[in-house]
Amino acid sequence: MGADLIGLLPGVPEHLPGTPVNTLEEARALSLPLVLGFFDGYLALKASEGKENPVSVDFSGGKQGYRLAADRVRHERLIKALGGMPTEPLSVIDGTGGLGRDALVMAQAGFHVDVIERSPIIHALLADGVRRLEGEDRALAARLTLHCADSAEWIQRSNKAHFAVYLDPMFPQRQKSAAIKKDLLWLQQLEKAPEENEAHELLNAARDHAAKRVVVKRPVRAVALDEQKPSYSLEGKAVRFDVYIKS
């Protein structure tokens, strides 16, 4: 399912791909499985049928708020993979923005993060999350810069110096979709995981561009991205971070 099968409710940002609808009932009548709209003040994705809660970008609530605690962020495995909390202003690229959870952890640690997301729908969710974050923590929001673009192309064009590039390619689809968290499943429906040639191009672009290192998030038992052996890995129970050090 692509963004062309999403219903766009009144009030959403202009020029997004999808079919304008006025209600959830109209989306169901048109066989549109998802809708994008404002729910309780949040721009969010919602199933046109069923009682599932909408999926939005919330940079301060729930588990995300826990990850951002001052005494917690330095212990995040991602921050350790980046070499620890920066002691000077450093810029990194998050080449697979998604719902922005890892990008915000990097920003909270002190990095300035260029967040690249190629899906216009997901980019719109991110922009809404940053807009609300500006009202809560303007300095933190200022360390997040969003770009709606293809990551490999953006990285290859960029003349800006970046200390590191972080990649979280979408995990392979599981056989039982019920085992996938709802937000990840909906993201998988919006944009497919990178093909083999795309993964090769993206990782090589990242390794060429990064000044010091590339960090790639992988399922703990998965092969390395593009089968390129990392310098070392940091493993957790479910995921690991493969680190490629720039010589």
Contact 104, 59 (CB under 8 A): yes
- Answer yes or no: is pLDDT of 65 > 60: no
Neighbours of 173 (CB within 10 A): 13
Angle at which helices 120-134 and 182-190 pack, to 10 degrees?
Answer: 130
Query: Where is the domain boundary, 56, 74, 95?
Result: 56
- pLDDT given at position 229: 96
* pLDDT per position as a tens digit, 67-103: 555 568 989 999 999 999 999 999 999 999 999 999 9
**Weakest-pLDDT range from 99-113, 133-147, 169-183, 213-227:** 169-183
CATH number at residue 241: 3.40.50.150
Q: Which of 245, 96, 93, 103 is nearest to 157 (CA)?
A: 93
* Residue 37, domain extent: 3-56
* pLDDT per position as a tens digit, 159-211: 999 999 999 986 544 444 444 466 666 676 676 656 667 889 999 999 999 99
Are residues 69 and 158 located together in one domain of the fold?
yes
Residue 154: DSSP 8-state: H
- Mean pLDDT of all residues belonging to the chain: 88
- Answer yes or no: is pLDDT of 1 > 70: no
Are residues 23 and 66 located together in one domain of the fold?
no
- pLDDT given at position 2: 58
The Cα–Cα gap between 228 and 167 comes to 14
Are residues 163 and 68 located together in one domain of the fold?
yes
- pLDDT given at position 177: 44
Are residues 150 and 198 located together in one domain of the fold?
yes
